Amino acid sequence: MLQLTIGNKNYSSWSMRPWVLLKQASIPFEEVMLRFDDFLNESTYEQSKFKQTLRAITPVGKVPVLVDGDLAIWDTLAIAEYLAEQFPEKQLWPADKAARARARSICAEMHSGFTALRGNCPMNIEAHLPDIGALIWRDKPGVRADVQRLVDMWSGLLQQHGGALLFGGFTVVDAYFAPVCMRLKTYDLPVPPVIASYVDRVCALPGVQAWVADALAEKDFLDFEEPYRLAPQAPPLRGSLP
């Protein structure tokens, strides 16, 4: 059976993409969860269980990683292409040649672009940060430009393909933009109604709902993933002074 190694579901946008793709397409797989630890701390990097475990699977030491027998595939685009080849009956890419090329271009654009949105609005499914989003929207023209690009892209595709999703039925593209939908909701970034409706439809996909439910159940708070919130304080022990 396929095995997918991922990081924290609340924070790991790259892990979310292939997981949702597999789940929504009903492709059986085994999930291996590696919770993030202090691998960003140089003094403890070599003791990071997260990195030690990943180094045994992939030379890049990052999630996600798809393992099929003796073969390990890292990078979300490579995983998506592999799954499309292995399961052609699932039609993970659009059937039309031109639409398929467009879909691949859009995924590649997400893969290497939208840096302002990704950098200023890290995925945090459990959080609701509309006030932070308002400040980001006011002060970060790069975020406004990235969101406008999304609006233009999604509006055109929804109009062209006339479906609930970007290419009509579910494809790699919708899985690829699922974490972006999470960001738009967490930070309450302003988008037109047609875009908000698409975001709601993506969030309603069973594969996305399953991911979100698991993310909300994690209850991890990682400082390096939380630029806008302080760690919640533990309640005082019973009988202790306030």
Q: What is the CATH number of the domain that holds 75?
A: 3.40.30.10
Distance of alpha carbon 117 from its chain centroid, rounded?
A: 13
The answer to whether residue 70 sits within a structural domain is yes
* 105 and 159 share one domain: yes
In angstroms, the CA 88 to CA 78 distance is 15
Any domain includes 222: no
Residues 203 and 102 both lie in one domain:
yes
Does residue 35 lie in a domain region? yes
Shared-domain flag, residues 81 and 115:
no
Residue from 144, 98, 91, 95 nearest 117 by CA: 144
Residue 42's domain spans which residues? 2-90
| Residue at a domain's end among 63, 90, 117 | 90
pLDDT by residue for the chain (242 residues), tens only, comes to: 999 999 999 999 999 999 999 999 999 999 999 999 878 776 666 778 898 899 999 999 899 999 999 999 999 999 999 999 999 999 999 999 999 999 999 999 999 999 999 999 999 999 999 999 999 999 999 999 999 999 999 999 999 998 899 999 999 999 999 999 999 999 999 999 999 999 999 999 999 999 999 999 999 999 999 999 999 865 555 554 44
- Whether 215 is covered by a domain: the verdict is no
211: CB partners within 8 A, 6+ apart: 9, 16, 19, 20, 23, 178
Residues 67 and 110 occupy one common structural domain: no
The answer to whether residues 147 and 164 belong to one domain is: yes
Query: Global pTM?
Result: 0.94
Rounded Cα–Cα distance for residues 66 and 57 (Å): 9
Q: Are 146 and 201 contained in the same domain?
A: yes
What's the structural domain count of the chain? 2
